[in-house]
Structure 1
Amino acid sequence: MVAPFTVFGYGSLIFKPPPHTISQVHGFLKGYVRRFAQSSHDHRGTDEYPGRVVTLVHKEDWVRFSEEDAFPDEDVVWGIAYTIDPAYEAEVRDYLGDIGRLFLTSSQDGYTMESLDIYGIVDGKEQIVIRNVRYPCCYVGRNDNPSFVGSEPLDVLAHRISCSVGPSGPNKEYLYKLAESIRELSPDSFDSHLFALEAKVKQLDSNRIPR
């Protein structure tokens, strides 16, 4: 029996699920970090002023170029594992490929598909909730693609996100939706980097309000 196609959403897929989902599991990955390290030219920014969107990076890769990272030891990434109706697997794969092309000059050069164990908290204990299935797939970013910007100081990143706007809307809207969605996943779900960035962008917003 062929295992179903499962994709792990760690960015916009959390608040905008893929089509033809037949079940979903809230959980997290270990050994990775989620960072706003990908420039967005035609999604949450422009060619002249690219925004920033999240990508998933291997922890061991991230530590090599994360001198400015405020949370270098955090390596748990919460998200949602979506199981797709087998009848629509090809359609959903195409859909996910189109999402990748929103972020990158070449989606093939920007992400790899990897099989992963997905963890959860069950009865107060950490355990694998999706194990050894054929396609626990996730898009993992690489630093050899032209849209990868790597680690930036939190203040610099917050300013960029607060000012960037693209065809899909303000960059900060993407940040706020993602942070809110992570909080709603589970009583245990968190992302210290994401929440700290959210707080800085909201502070910039409040400073712009006329008094």
Structure 2
Amino acid sequence: MSRADSGERWVFGYGSLMWRPGFPFLERQHATLHGRRRAFCIYSVHHRGTYERPGLVLGLAPGGAVRGKAYRVAQADWPATYDYLREREQPTETYYESSTSLRLADGRRVEALTFLSDVKHPQWAGVLSLERQCELIAGATGLSGRNVDYVRDLVEHLRAEGLRDRAMERLLAMVEAREAAT
């Protein structure tokens, strides 16, 4: 993993890490990662579902590009930050850690710790239609709460950051309509 001369490290967030990082940071910027896209492609059996009734959570699926947030973490804070991220992001090890190249909003390029979806993991859901995503998300609940709340948080926070994701907005509307009908 490449580091700044000071030993600082970067972390990339594309989901809840964008609005709830949970660790101290020196700098936060919009960032773009090429070659991956934000997708509900991971069956959630921990945070937003159970083994009996899985939900879906975000992952970085191959292809496209994704805009998110990059956080610069001080060297002194890195060990605790890394431990926290491993616990938060890896309860069932559905992601693997990677050093990815990001372009920051100010034009700099940095290497960042990024959790990528493991397409060989049993919880990899792959490419699902919006209808199938809706079926899985509607009514699913896990240790971190209702799955629909996760989708709603994502859409609201993306909008607040000036980022629109029309597919996620459509998915949210479908899930809310389905839950209202039950």
TM above 0.5, one fold? yes
- Opposite residue 78 of structure 2, the aligned amino acid is E
1:40 counterpart residue number: 44
1:157 counterpart residue number: 133
Q: Secondary structure at the match of 1:19?
A: coil
Taking only the aligned residue pairs, the percentage that are identical comes to 28
Which of 44, 52, 56 matches 2:56?
Answer: 52
Question: Larger C-alpha radius of gyration, 1 or 2?
Answer: 1
| Equivalent-residue separation in structure 2 for 1:130 and 1:39 (angstroms) | 34
CA contact under 8 A between 1:112 and 1:139: conserved in structure 2? yes
Higher helix share: 1
75-84 or 163-172, larger mean C-alpha shift: 75-84
CA RMSD of aligned residues (A): 1.7
1:196 counterpart residue number: 170
Which of 67, 84, 88 matches 1:78?
Answer: 67
Q: What does 1:1-211 correspond to in 2, within 5 Å?
A: 1-59=5-63, 75-102=64-91, 104=92, 106=93, 110-120=95-105, 129-131=107-109, 133=110, 135-186=111-162, 189-208=163-182
- Opposite residue 179 of structure 1, the aligned amino acid is V
The two structures have a TM-score, normalised by structure 2, of 0.89
CA contact under 8 A between 1:77 and 1:191: conserved in structure 2? no
User: How far 1:85 moved relative to its partner?
Assistant: 2.1
User: How far 1:119 moved relative to its partner?
Assistant: 4.4
CA contact under 8 A between 1:162 and 1:204: conserved in structure 2? yes
| Equivalent-residue separation in structure 2 for 1:149 and 1:57 (angstroms) | 10
In structure 1, the gaps of 5 or more residues are 60-74, 121-127
- Opposite residue 158 of structure 1, the aligned amino acid is C
Question: After superposition, what is the alpha-carbon deviation per residue over 1:156-208, rounded to whole angstroms, capped at 9, x for unaligned?
Answer: 2112111100111000101100111111112xx22232122112112213333
In structure 2, the gaps of 5 or more residues are none
| Equivalent-residue separation in structure 1 for 2:19 and 2:103 (angstroms) | 19
- Opposite residue 191 of structure 1, the aligned amino acid is D
